[in-house]
Amino acid sequence: MSELKKELNFWQGIGLLSTSLLGTGIFAVPAIVAQIAGQDGLWAWPLLLVLVFPIAIIFAELGKHYPSAGGVAYFIAKAFNPVLGRVTAWSFLSVIPFGLPAGLYIASGFWASVFHVTAEVELMIQVVTLLLIWAIGLFGAAASGWVQSIIAILIISLVMAMCFFSSPSVLTVTWPNICDVQFMPVINALAVMFWCFVGLEAFVHLSTEFKHPQKDFPRALLMGLILAGFIYWVCTAAVIFFVPNLSSATAALPTIIEQLFGAKALWLFCLIGYLACFASINIYCQSFARLVWVQANENHPQGRLARLSKRQTPVNALTLVILLSMFFLLLIHLFTFSLHSLLEYANGVFVFIYFLAMLSAIKLLSGKLRILASVCTMICLGLLCVIGYKSLYALGIFIILWFIAKKVTVIKTSNP
């Protein structure tokens, strides 16, 4: 079996994860949180970090002890059986119809806001974005790591500018008394907020491409999570500080940039916003490609999807992912789906996969880590309840794929 090239270091890992977590969420979700929970939303980010941090620890331990480009699917297969692992892998790909179009829609929206382009031109921007991601994928994970590290620096610089160019600083925003917080709006906000932390499982697929996976992978995972959480909190505080009477979530950060730096700075803001979205979409496309490559290598090692390029990258698998993304992107343009709905359906898939990963961790890990994995399993169940009926999409896809996989296994067994 061919092996992926080990070329990622600690700093590239932080760049990959932090940009994938920030990505499409940073320019919309903080404003949505402010709309749903108001100033109480300042407590929503620490609450979500408390819920996600133990899940990140479990992912870090799984990636440390069982590094594989197969990610969660590999953990499930090792903990239970290969059939369940394959079903989980293909279930992970079920986020493509909702998650990637949502990310592309937000990304192209930055250029649409500057140049006031038509829907057809915006669609062309989205297609070009996918082609650029395909081109970067030709050069391997290190290229993505360096590109996204640069994007991470741009995003952090923008957030720091919001902190220190305002007078007084947004960091001085008043926290509401914990006893006065209305927790139902905060809990409702979590259904959308989880979109901001759904890069953890994708990051696991890259664990085998670290030069020192046992040392650098878990550190990069946890540091990237903390950095992203802080930036999201700062953006929410900025929305509350500058735009107390918020009417449109998508207009919040442009309004802040215009207040701080003037209308001419909007062009630079839109460029950084597009790059942030590009980074998030990129890491998902690259991780999807590696997942497809692993499944192909295990089931049809001589097939085209199992081949690596001269640079040891899964180009054929990436091409398939890009083509599927374009297909569903066209469907989203033909039918009416709100961005809010796309995010919640995608979140349902991610949380369900996290739930399966935590179940596998209960079996694979031991001692205190097994207890922590059990707690994380309950956290994931709670998050599925928060998302509500839209999480049934993930469950339905999983059940359908399970029946198909079982039938295929029976056919293979009866016809050796």
The CATH number linked to 278 is 1.20.1740.10
**Domain of 228, in residue numbers:** 10-411
Distance between CA 74 and CA 86 in Å, rounded? Answer: 8
List, for residues 68-90, the tens digit of each pLDDT value: 766 788 889 899 988 888 898 88
Q: SS in 3 state form for 55-118?
A: HHHHHHHHHHHCCCCCCHHHHHHHHCCHHHHHHHHHHHHHHCCCHHHHHHHHHHHHHHHHHCCC
CB–CB of 121/369 below 8 Å? no
List, for residues 141-162, the tens digit of each pLDDT value: 555 556 666 766 777 777 777 7
* Residue 64 forms part of a structural domain: yes
List, for residues 171-182, the tens digit of each pLDDT value: 777 788 888 888
DSSP 3-state of 210: strand
pLDDT of residue 372: 94
List, for residues 272-285, the tens digit of each pLDDT value: 778 778 877 887 78
The two structure tokens encoding residue 351: 């949380």
* Residue 4 forms part of a structural domain: no
Neighbours of 182 (CB within 10 A): 11
∠307-310-312 over CA atoms, to 5°? 65
Residue 210 forms beta bridges with which residues?
8
* Residue 1 forms part of a structural domain: no
Give the residue, 400 or 307, on which the prediction is more confident: 400
* Residue 3 forms part of a structural domain: no
Distance between CA 198 and CA 247 in Å, rounded? Answer: 27
Domain count, the chain: 1
CB–CB of 258/265 below 8 Å? yes
What percentage of residues in the chain have a pLDDT greater than 70?
Answer: 85
* Residue 258 forms part of a structural domain: yes
* Residue 231 forms part of a structural domain: yes
pLDDT of residue 154: 75
pLDDT of residue 1: 44
* Residue 416 forms part of a structural domain: no
> How much is the pTM?
0.74
List, for residues 10-20, the tens digit of each pLDDT value: 777 777 676 66
Distance between CA 164 and CA 339 in Å, rounded? Answer: 32
pLDDT of residue 202: 62
* Residue 5 forms part of a structural domain: no
Most confident of 15-24, 294-303, 321-330: 321-330
